[in-house]
Amino acid sequence: MSDRPCALVTHAAGYAGPPAVAALLEAGFQVFAHDGGFADDETWARYRAGRPHLEPVVAAEPEEVVADTLRRAPGLQVIVSNDHFPAVAHRPDTAPAAALQDNLARLVEWPFRLIQTALPHLRARGDANIVVITSNRTRLPLSGGAFPDAARAAANAMVRSLAVDCAADGIVVNALAPNFLYSEAYYPRALFRESGEGRAYVRQNVPVGRLAEPEEIGEVIAFLATVRTRFLTGAVIDFSGGWPFGPARPVP
């Protein structure tokens, strides 16, 4: 095993996973990338693409993810919980209650179980960094968005509470809350980059006038993963190009 510091990135194939992995590798970490799809050798070979300090984790349950990672990386000191789930809009009069449970299970329960399982190890270290990738979509709620909005708001609240409970153990817990980040999960290329209508929507709504590039969020993830001060904890950092607080650009 490498003598590099060790980091775990969950659901690494999507959302902020690829830039998180790339940025942490560049920062000098041995990275354990979790995704069930990596059980397929060809999928993993494409994702790894010759990067020598990258290892797959394919377990399904968060407890198993932590156990497998610690078995191979007893020096684990950084966790990036990269949680995403399809943000399907439901009108309140027809919304299926099961869909709310699905959002909460994936975006709140799963990362909580992951962190809970890792806590004994991280407490023993006394200098661990946890980064939870959430969303700031709740800044401007949209029609039909009650379920993903509720789950994202809960995740951000969870981070703040966990930060309080972990502070005395030297564990910092912060959230990075993006919106208008290019990813196939939420802002797919075909609609928001290749479609004139989609590009106009972005220009009209985002003060910066564009989607965020993946490497840009990677830069912030690497910062939160490597920060040495224990005083930066419980933060929920917006990453949305000024949305929704500044004036939108006029559409030409």
Query: What pLDDT, in 10s, does the model give residues 84-125?
Result: 999 999 999 999 999 999 999 999 999 999 999 999 999 999
The whole-angstrom separation of Cα 24 and Cα 114 is 19
Q: Does a structural domain hold residue 202? A: no
Q: What type of residue is 70? A: L
Instruction: Identify the weakest region by mean pLDDT among 27-31, 158-162, 185-189.
Output: 185-189
Structure tokens belonging to residue 28? 């000098």
Tell whether pTM > 0.85. yes
Q: State the average pLDDT over residues 122-144.
A: 95
Domain extent at residue 59: 6-183+214-239
Is residue 213 predicted with pLDDT exceeding 70?
yes
Q: Does a structural domain hold residue 199? A: no
Whether the upstream peptide bond of residue 86 has omega within 30° of 0, thus cis, is: no
Task: Please report which confidence band the pLDDT of residue 22 belongs to, taking 50, 70 and 90 as the band edges.
Answer: very high
Number of domains in the chain: 1
Q: What distance lies between CA 213 and its chain's CA centroid?
A: 15
How much is the pLDDT for 185? 85
Q: Does a structural domain hold residue 104? A: yes
Q: Does a structural domain hold residue 1? A: no
Q: Does a structural domain hold residue 193? A: no
Q: Does a structural domain hold residue 116? A: yes
Is residue 163 predicted with pLDDT exceeding 60?
yes
Q: State the average pLDDT over residues 77-85.
A: 97
Q: Does a structural domain hold residue 246? A: no
Q: Do residues 74 and 120 touch, judged by C-beta distance below 8 A?
A: no
Which among 134, 139, 62, 143 has a CA at the least distance from the CA of 95?
A: 143
In the chain the first and final C-alpha atoms are separated, in Å, by: 55
Q: Does a structural domain hold residue 195? A: no
Residue with tokens 């968060």: 62
How much is the pLDDT for 245? 87
Mean pLDDT of the chain: 95
Task: Please report which confidence band the pLDDT of residue 248 belongs to, taking 50, 70 and 90 as the band edges.
Answer: low
Which among 84, 87, 90 has a CA at the least distance from the CA of 107?
A: 84
Q: Do residues 7 and 78 touch, judged by C-beta distance below 8 A?
A: yes
How much is the pLDDT for 3? 86
How much is the pLDDT for 1? 55
Say whether 202 sits in a helix, a strand or coil.
Answer: helix
Is residue 77 predicted with pLDDT exceeding 60?
yes
Q: What distance lies between CA 116 and its chain's CA centroid?
A: 17
CATH number at residue 174: 3.40.50.720
How much is the pLDDT for 249? 56
Instruction: Identify the weakest region by mean pLDDT among 46-50, 141-145, 212-216.
Output: 141-145
